[in-house]
Amino acid sequence: MVSKTEEEQVNRLESQVENGGGGEWEYLCLVRKLKLRRSYNVLKYGFSILNDPKKRSALGPEEWTLYEQVAVAAMDTQRLDMAKDYVKVLQEKFPESKRVGRLEALLLEAMGLWEEAEKAYSSLLEDNELDPVIHKRRVAMAKAQGNISGAIEWLNKYLEIFMADNDAWRELAEIYVSLQMYKQAAFCYEELILSQPTIPLYHLAYADVLYTLGGLENLHMAKKYYASTIDLTGGKHTRALFGICLSTSAIDQLTKGRNKDDKENSQLASLSATALGKDYKQRAPNKVSLLASTLKA
Amino acid sequence: MAEDLVLDTAIRDWVLIPLSVVMVLIGILRYFVSKLMRSSNQVPDPKMVKEGQVIIRARNLRAAANYIPAKSFRARRVYFSNEENGLLYVPKGQAQNAQAQMFSDPNMAMDMMKKNLSMIIPQTLTFAWVNFFFSGFVAAKIPFPLTQRFRSMLQNGIDLSTVDVSYVSSRSWYFLNLFGLRGLFSLILGEENATDDTQRMMQMSGFGFDPTKSLGAEKDSLDIFQHEWALPKFEQRAEAVLKKLVVSVPTPVAETVKTEKVKTVEEASKEEKVAATPAPEVVTEEQKQVTKEEVAEEQVQVTEEEVVTEEQKQVTEEEVAPEVTEKQEEATEEEVAAPPAEKPAAPEAETKELAEEAVPEEAVAKDETKEPVEEKIEAEVPKEAAIEETKEEAPKFAEEEKPAAKE
């Protein structure tokens, strides 16, 4: 998660560097620290630094990290020739290094040679059973090849060992949703909510999945989670407001004959509808009547 | 008898300062030596890692269990504490094994010995040196008064029993430096330096038990835990939040939106509306007739066609309205529509993507006001499945980037 000040700093540095001011090295360091994915920029500025022998020697031992960073950026922007050069330089410097081995396998992956990359990763894993990065690369490879079920399998294995990795759970949840395996996706989102209960994003996604699953109980739960999202975001979250309206109407449809506790339900729905109306009015006044018609349906 | 002894400044020059300097230097030396001697078996034991992660997960479960439905909580609890293959279940035999194994494992033992040695030897040597060279005189005066009990500890070289306990020998200065320079070391050497003797000493006692014991502890606390689903409370809180939001900005009377809401919702809600906006109710009846016409029109057609007709009307009405501001509004709207509370990179990328998609569409077909507006509407207006589909595609897209960038 990127904090706000760091974000501003990155943006500032980026604009500064783009306009020809100095500070490329700081920009690259910050990008590396925050694990942002600005491959094009990284490649451009890193390339300029690395090609200038004066600047390069000024970096000292950091030079090799820069090589690594730029190599990855080159692979990301499909400049495989440059990537190969950088990896070769690193190989000469650190012949037996696991980190460089990882880079090589990454290069194979970028070139599309899936089997070789797979072999390389397996051999790396033999040395070090517990390298989370390699596991994740395998998952990413499976996903890139379109082998979603393989990706799921690898990801599950990864999560058996590293259960506390939130991003992996999130990735798994989204894969499940894309495959419409909503029950499993719900499980993943529950894990996410457990580990970070104050992030409204997870509540919202969970509510969406529940709503999609359908069924009266799930709809009730979905409504509750939309409500919690609203609570966590101070009532301004448009999507959650819509979610409440929709789930309320779906529940009403399902419980047409029997009027259970309508009282508090309608309060919430009408309130959210009003809030939506105000919101739209503030930000998109021409859509207001559109909203009205939608909400009536 | 608190006579004030005047201490020679030479003491300060030749005892206090050199002692501190020497200790700092020795600390730095120790740090580098430990770095060199650290063996390269950094491979973490898979079992340990897994256990660590299990503990974290179980702890999370306990901490936030009130946020997930009861069924899922119970399922997870069984998963963790099941008798045969629960994750946290540790048969008694294994508990003993872990510790024994720890000590018989040659690697581990060597590591521990090395670490211990690098701690103890410099300490002992420095202490002996201090005692030999800097004993027999008063080195410093402690600014606050002390009781007589400290005399033996702090004044060991001074054989006069009438001297105030505040006057201490250099041994106490040594101890003071020993514990106080830790902060300085973390400044100079960065975090994780090997000079945290006291911490290490404390850790020694609770060594081998840690994983198995904490597993058992987690299991017990999980068994005890009572699940109370907090979500119903959330509904009420959400209501409260929305109420505040709705009431705080008193909107003017003649608004078709509000009055339509009054119409669509049932009886109970009308009371809410009365409390919230007293004025519109008066006007509702007048407005109702106006809106009835609209309703009649709309109810005939399908909602999507409605959209088109509505938009056509609007567009013909407001030809003057510049499209640029519309674009901006939609861009901001979409940006805020993504979760505003947290700001991970993904939703921003997602909204930027969506906004970017919307913008070029408009730029292309600027003359024909209908089509791009329609497309935008269909991209925006969250009909039931539309939200999930579009937003799922976009985050999936952005999330694919994430694991690749996670190197």
Query: Over the stretch A194-238, which tens digit does the pLDDT of each residue have?
Result: 888 888 888 888 888 888 888 888 888 888 888 888 878 776 778
pLDDT at residue B316 tops 50 = no
Does residue B199 carry a pLDDT above 70? no
Residue of B nearest to A3 (CA): B343
Across B81-85, average pLDDT: 64
Where is pLDDT greater, at A291 or A216?
A: A216
Residue A88 has pLDDT above 50, yes or no: yes
Chain B residues closer than 8 Å to A291 by CB: 257
For residues A138 and A136, give the distance between their C-alpha atoms in angstroms, rounded to a whole number.
5
Residue B386: pLDDT band with limits 50, 70, 90: very low
b/e map of B338-348 (b: 16 or more CB within 10 Å)? bbeebebbbbe
HEC sequence for chain B:
CCCCCCCCHHHHHHHHHHHHHHHHHHHHHHHHHHHHHCCCCCCCCHHHHHHHHHHHHHHHHHHCHHHCCHHHHHHHHHHHHCCCCCCCCCCHHHHHHHHHHHHHCHHHHHHHHHHHHHHHHHHHHHHHHHHHHCCCCCCEECCCCCCHHHHHHHCCCCCCCCCCCCEECHHHHHHHHHHHHHHHHHHHCCCCCCCCHHHHHHHHHCCCCHHHHHHHHHHHHHHHCCCCCCHHHHHHHHHHHHHHHHHHCCCCCCCHHHHHHHHHCCHHHHHHHHHHCHHHHHHHHHHHHHHHHHHHHHHHCCHHHHHHHHHHHHHHHCCCCCHHHHHHHHHHHHHHHCCCCCCCHHHHHHHHHHHHHHHHHHHHCCCCCHHHHHHHHHHHCCCHHHHHHHHHHHHHHHHHHHHHHCC
Per the model's pLDDT, the better-predicted residue between B228 and A265 turns out to be B228
CB A227 within 8 A of CB A244: yes
Q: Look at residue B283 in the predicted model and tell me its pLDDT.
A: 40
Task: pLDDT band for B44, please (50, 70, 90 cuts).
Answer: low
Q: Report residue A24 as tokens.
A: 């490329």
Report CB contact under 8 Å: B381, A294: yes
Taking 50 as the threshold, does the pLDDT of residue B209 lie above it?
A: no
> How many residue pairs from chains A and B have C-beta atoms closer than 8 A?
268
Of B150 and B277, the one with more pLDDT: B150
Distance from C-alpha of B212 to C-alpha of A194, rounded to nearest angstrom = 23
> Contacts of residue A220 in chain B, CB cutoff 8 Å?
none
Nearest partner of B33 among B175, B196, B195, B174, judged by Cα: B195
pLDDT tops 70 at residue B326: no
Q: Which of A95-109, A198-212, B19-33, B317-331 has the lowest mean pLDDT?
A: B317-331
pLDDT of res. B365: 37
A-facing residues of B in 228-247 (CB < 8 A) are 231-232, 234-239, 241-246
How would residue B3 be classed by pLDDT, with cut points 50, 70 and 90?
Answer: low
Q: What pLDDT is stored for residue B273 in this prediction?
A: 42
User: pLDDT tier at B192 (50, 70, 90 boundaries)?
Assistant: low
Answer yes or no: is pLDDT of A153 > 80.
yes
Closest CB from B43, B268, B381 relative to A263: B268
Model confidence at B10: pLDDT above 60 = yes
Could you tell me the pLDDT band of residue B341, with boundaries at 50, 70 and 90?
A: very low
The reply to whether residue B307 touches residue A266, judged by beta carbons under 8 angstroms, is no
Residue B295 binned pLDDT confidence (cut-offs 50, 70, 90): very low
Over residues B327-339, the mean pLDDT reads: 39
Share of chain B above pLDDT 90, in %: 0
Identify the weakest region by mean pLDDT among A257-271, B179-193, B324-338.
B324-338
Query: Alpha carbon of A84 to those of A103, A235, B257, B295: distances in Å?
Result: 10, 51, 61, 66
Write down the pLDDT at residue B32. 80
Average pLDDT over residues A106-126: 84
State whether B234 and A231 contact (CB < 8 Å). Answer: yes
Q: Is the pLDDT of residue A108 over 80?
A: yes
Contacts by B363-368, CB closer than 8 A, 24 or more apart: B366/B323
The residue that leads in pLDDT, A212 or A272, is A212
Number of C-beta neighbours around residue B212 at 10 A: 19
Distance from CA of B277 to the nearest CA of A (A): 11
pLDDT at residue B94 in the model: 57
**Hey, is the C-beta of B67 within 8 angstroms of any chain A C-beta?**
yes
Interchain pair B234, A274: CB under 8 A: no
- Which of B14-28, B43-57, B386-400 is the least confident region? B386-400
- Give me the helix-helix angle, A200-213 and A182-195, nearest 10°: 160
Phi first, then psi, for residue B253 (nearest 5°) are -70, -60
Say what the pLDDT of residue B291 is: 42
Hey, are the CB atoms on A293 and B46 less than 8 Å from each other? no
| Least confident interval from A71-80, A153-162, B38-47, B58-67 | B38-47
Residue B383 near chain A (CB below 8 Å): yes
Q: Which of A135-144, B42-51, B192-201, B270-279 has the lowest mean pLDDT?
A: B270-279
Contacts of A161 in chain B (CB under 8 A): 46, 49-50, 53
Say what the pLDDT of residue B218 is.
75
User: What are phi and psi for residue B341, nearest 5 degrees?
Assistant: -60, -60
Whether the CB of B302 is below 8 Å from some CB of chain A: the reply is: no
Q: What is the mean pLDDT of residues B298-318?
A: 42
CA-CA distance, B86 to B76, in Å (whole number)? 10
CB contact under 8 A, B242 and A272: yes
What pLDDT is stored for residue A277 in this prediction? 75
pLDDT of A120 > 60? The answer is yes
Mean per-residue pLDDT, B177-187: 82
Question: Which of the four pLDDT bands, split at 50, 70 and 90, describes residue B252?
Answer: very low
Q: Which of residues 16-45 of A touch B (CB under 8 A)?
A: 35-37
- CA nearest to A232 within chain B: B341
pLDDT computed for residue A73 by the predictor:
84
pLDDT at position A192 over 80: yes
Smallest CA–CA distance, residue B188 to chain A, in Å, is 20
At B373, the pLDDT band (50, 70, 90 cuts) reads very low
Say what angle helices A80-93 and A98-111 make with each other, to 10 degrees: 160
pLDDT at B181: 82
B41 close contact with A: CB closer than 8 A: no
A256 touches chain B (CB under 8 A): no
**pLDDT attached to residue B296:** 41
A194: closest CA among B58, B388, B44? Answer: B58
**CA of A190 to nearest chain B CA: how many angstroms apart?**
6
Query: Rounded mean pLDDT of A95-122?
Result: 83
Which among B46, B68, B269 has the least Cβ separation from residue A266?
A: B269
Confidence of residue B333 (pLDDT cuts 50, 70, 90): very low
The pLDDT of residue B178 is above 80: yes
Q: CB distance from B78 to chain A under 8 Å?
A: no
User: Which residue is it, tokens 């004959």?
Assistant: A257
- B280: pLDDT confidence band, cut at 50, 70 and 90? very low
Find the residue in B nearest to A161 (Cα): B50
| Averaged pLDDT, B307-331 | 41
Sign of CA dihedral B388, B390, B391, B395: positive
Q: Which of residues 270-299 of B touch A (CB under 8 A)?
A: 272-273, 276, 294-295, 298
Q: Which residues of B touch A236 (CB under 8 A)?
A: 245, 336, 340
Q: What are phi and psi of B140, to 5 degrees?
A: -155, 165
CB-nearest partner of B399 from A171, A226, A295: A171
pLDDT at A257: 56
Whether residue A195 lies within 8 A of chain B, CB to CB, comes out as yes
Which residue type occupies A184?
Q
Chain B residues closer than 8 Å to A266 by CB:
265-266, 268-269
Region class of A213: left (phi > 0), else alpha (psi between -120 and 50), else beta: alpha
According to DSSP, residue A253 is labeled H
Q: Which of residues 144-163 of B touch A (CB under 8 A)?
A: none
CA distance, residue A124 to nearest chain B CA (Å): 13
Integer Cα distance of B382 and A252 in angstroms: 19
Using an 8 Å Cβ cutoff, are B170 and B13 in contact? no
Q: ipTM value of the model? A: 0.71
Chain B positions touching A162 (Cβ under 8 A) are 49, 53
What is the rounded distance in angstroms from the CA atom of residue B218 to the CA atom of residue B221? 5
For CA atoms B129, B130, B133, B135, the dihedral sign is negative
User: Among A76, A128, A271, whose Cβ lies nearest the Cβ of B239?
Assistant: A271
Could B340 and A187 be called an inter-chain contact, meaning their C-beta atoms sit closer than 8 Å?
no
Q: Which of A146, A227, A215 is nearest to A186 (CA)?
A: A215
Whether B159 has a pLDDT exceeding 70, the answer reads yes
> Mean of the pLDDT values across residues B314-336?
40
Q: CA geometry: angle at B157 spanning B154 and B163, to 5°?
A: 65
A78 touches chain B (CB under 8 A): no
Residue scoring higher pLDDT (A287 or B352): A287
Model confidence pLDDT, tens digit, residues B88-112: 666 555 555 555 555 556 666 676 7
